[in-house]
Structure 1
Amino acid sequence: MPRIGFGLWKIPQDDTASCVVEAVRAGYRHFDSAADYANEMQTGEGLTQAMADGLVSREDLWLTSKLWNTFHAPQHVEEACRKSLEDLQLDYLDLYLIHFPIALEYVPIDERYPPEWLHDPDAPNPVMKPAEVPLQETWAAMEALVDKGLVKQIGVCNYNSALLHDLMSYARIKPAMLQIESHPYLTQERLIRLAKQYGMDVTAFSPLGAQSYFELDMAAEGESLLGAAPVMVAADAHGKTPAQVLLRWGIQRGTAIIPKTTKPERMRENLDVFDFELSQVEMAAIGALNLNRRFNDPGTFTEAAFNTFHPIYD
């Protein structure tokens, strides 16, 4: 899997297809998608256009998608996967991930798609509706997708250490990937070490930290990592931008990263991080910024946005 992927979260539908084509032109071959991003159909249009234009072949691409919370019941996992494949115009996925260790009541695709978090958005007091589905049953259905050739590899997102230990105790097909939020304000060193001990690769989402969360009012402007002293010092020393230093830090510590942008010049800039190396001192100084600051925390946003307190991290 390419170490830098193109993140598709929060890219508007009207921009997605053209962004995907432009990203392919810039050199991206790894695309990180999800049913919940509500732009898989447009992503598929962009990928199909790029392949039709001879820019890339399917074999050159790595496509990741994710199982949404409302499809955790075993009888709905394949349905959800096939919907993503249909929208992406693909025969198979390279990687399919459980998006959150949160099972919600099923919402039929023809009723509302993507189903999002609220069980009934039109209710007087809409809330999330948890479903009693063990993660072990969901994982068995994920394994069946591999058996049927619908996906090449499977993995998980937003799992903690205890859930990884539990998963590894029953998995017939071991998870290939753990995708988590990680950046210098949330280094998650022990979790990453554990995943690698189990033979899992790790993808860090939000590798620039707060930047993805300003527009959602989930981060304050003062929390930007781009102005952090160790990042700026390293950027000046290497003739790179602060963003490039943060992305290089993520790669150099052994994780894949999936930055998001709609600007072609930023797409190219985000890929241009393989011609320099941060020193051990620079790596340590940037890592020392850790505050255990999690921006994407269901224990916070589910209560604020969906009237339901549902933490998954202590």
Structure 2
Amino acid sequence: MVPTIKLNSNHNFPVLGLGTYTADQIGEVERVVKDAIDVGYRHFDTAWYYKNEKEVGAAIRAKIAEGVIKREDVFVTTKLWNSHHRPDMVVDTCKRSLANLGLEYVDLYLIHWPYAFKEGDDGVPKDDKDKAIYSKVDYVDTWKAMENCVDIGLTKSIGLSNFNSEQIKRVLKVAKIKPAVNQIECHPYFTQTKLITFCKERGIVCTGYSPFGGPTSIAPLHKGEAPEPLKDSKIKEIGDKYGKSVAQIILKYLIQHGVAPIPKSSNKERLASNINIFDFELSAKDMAVIDLLNRNKRICDFIVLKDHPHYPFNIEY
């Protein structure tokens, strides 16, 4: 089983999970989540924007019905999308996600991005010039409504996703309930050391998406050279030494840095391989070798939104 760490909300958080973004076929996510449960995963990450909450929930409920797991055995994360930031929409949107999942509560509810779009169910509302239409809603007001989701039992914990250090500080100033998690892009070519340290100092755990940094990890939104740590010869050398794959070394590296990675795979053998990383430890020397591979190369940058007042990537961390 996957080890857990204690969140500041006093709930146990598995240090490795399954990401579910960019599944290719209808029905694929349900199969993958079932396979993942069978090989030992207990942490599942979805979002309203992914349009697969129903499949994730169906898989979990099926495995509960089979007696493989109980609801309390699994940790389910979903997220509030940018067009639902207005405070009066937050609780109802969370309830809709729960209806999609077929669950009474989620374990973690995140603000997906700090920037808000025009309200509605159009994922990315655009004007006649194909530019996203923004909303003036401030995420600190959204956060206060997120706290209501905890108060009425819709979620056990709440957190952030893709927030920078200054944005986290603003949330902490108004928070009655501290963010438990900040979900960020993190891989050996984009180590996010400063942001991770910042979060640790404030009792916030970082979840790492796109841990393999490749174009299949997440939709490559930046049209440029895509980093691919899975092909890195130095990581392979380390893997050969431990008798582990490059993917296994990367996941272990992130976990030893205090990040909870959420790799994605639709292949049951790779799902099993990715979770088979708790029988060894990387040495400090090998950790340092991987540290030096950092290129500060971000894949998921949403650069077309850089003029949004709450765009998070205009500062260092």
| TM-score normalized by the length of structure 1 | 0.91
Partner of 1:262: 266
Structure 2: 5+ residue stretches without partners = 1-12
- Residue 312 (1) aligns with residue 316 (2): no
Q: CA deviation at 1:233?
A: 1.1
Distance 1:310 1:155, change over 3 A: closer
2:157 alignment partner, one of 131, 153, 157: 153
Indicate if the aligned counterparts of 1:298 and 1:310 stay in contact, CA closer than 8 A. Answer: no
- Residue 285 (1) aligns with residue 279 (2): no
Indicate if the aligned counterparts of 2:210 and 2:218 stay in contact, CA closer than 8 A. Answer: no
Amino acid of the structure 1 residue aligned with 2:313: Y
1:188 alignment partner, one of 192, 198, 204: 192
Partner of 2:18: 6
Q: CA deviation at 1:229?
A: 2.6
Identity %: 38
Distance 1:217 1:143, change over 3 A: closer
Amino acid of the structure 1 residue aligned with 2:18: F
**CA offsets 1:109-128 (integer angstroms, 9 cap, x no match):** xxx4xx321x15xx643321
| TM-score normalized by the length of structure 2 | 0.90
Residues in 2 aligned to 1:187 and 1:133: alpha-carbon distance in whole angstroms: 30
Distance 1:59 1:310, change over 3 A: closer
Residues in 1 aligned to 2:204 and 2:225: alpha-carbon distance in whole angstroms: 34
Residues in 2 aligned to 1:149 and 1:141: alpha-carbon distance in whole angstroms: 13
**CA offsets 1:211-241 (integer angstroms, 9 cap, x no match):** 4358647476772112223201111100111
Indicate if the aligned counterparts of 2:222 and 2:303 stay in contact, CA closer than 8 A. Answer: no
Indicate if the aligned counterparts of 2:21 and 2:218 stay in contact, CA closer than 8 A. Answer: no
**CA offsets 1:82-117 (integer angstroms, 9 cap, x no match):** 11100001000100000000111111xxxx4xx321
Partner of 2:88: 75
Indicate if the aligned counterparts of 2:16 and 2:43 stay in contact, CA closer than 8 A. Answer: yes
Amino acid of the structure 2 residue aligned with 1:10: T
Partner of 2:211: 207
Residues in 1 aligned to 2:227 and 2:204: alpha-carbon distance in whole angstroms: 30
Indicate if the aligned counterparts of 1:13 and 1:38 stay in contact, CA closer than 8 A. Answer: no
Number of equivalent positions: 301
**Secondary structure of the equivalent of 1:256?**
strand
Partner of 2:175: 171
Larger mean CA deviation between 39-48 and 87-96 belongs to 39-48
- Residue 24 (1) aligns with residue 24 (2): no
Partner of 2:123: 116
Residues in 2 aligned to 1:171 and 1:31: alpha-carbon distance in whole angstroms: 26
**CA offsets 1:47-91 (integer angstroms, 9 cap, x no match):** 111111111110101000000000000010011101110000100
Q: CA deviation at 1:276?
A: 1.2
Distance 1:310 1:138, change over 3 A: closer
Distance 1:190 1:284, change over 3 A: same
Amino acid of the structure 2 residue aligned with 1:233: E
Indicate if the aligned counterparts of 1:298 and 1:312 stay in contact, CA closer than 8 A. Answer: no
Structure with greater proportional helix content: 1
- Give the RMSD, CA atoms, in angstroms: 2.0
Amino acid of the structure 2 residue aligned with 1:101: P
Distance 1:244 1:33, change over 3 A: same
Runs of 4+ off more than 4 Å: 213-222, 307-311
Structure 1: 5+ residue stretches without partners = none
**CA offsets 1:145-188 (integer angstroms, 9 cap, x no match):** 11101111000000111111111111111111111001111111
Partner of 1:65: 78
- Residue 86 (1) aligns with residue 99 (2): yes
- Residue 228 (1) aligns with residue 232 (2): yes
Q: CA deviation at 1:132?
A: 0.9
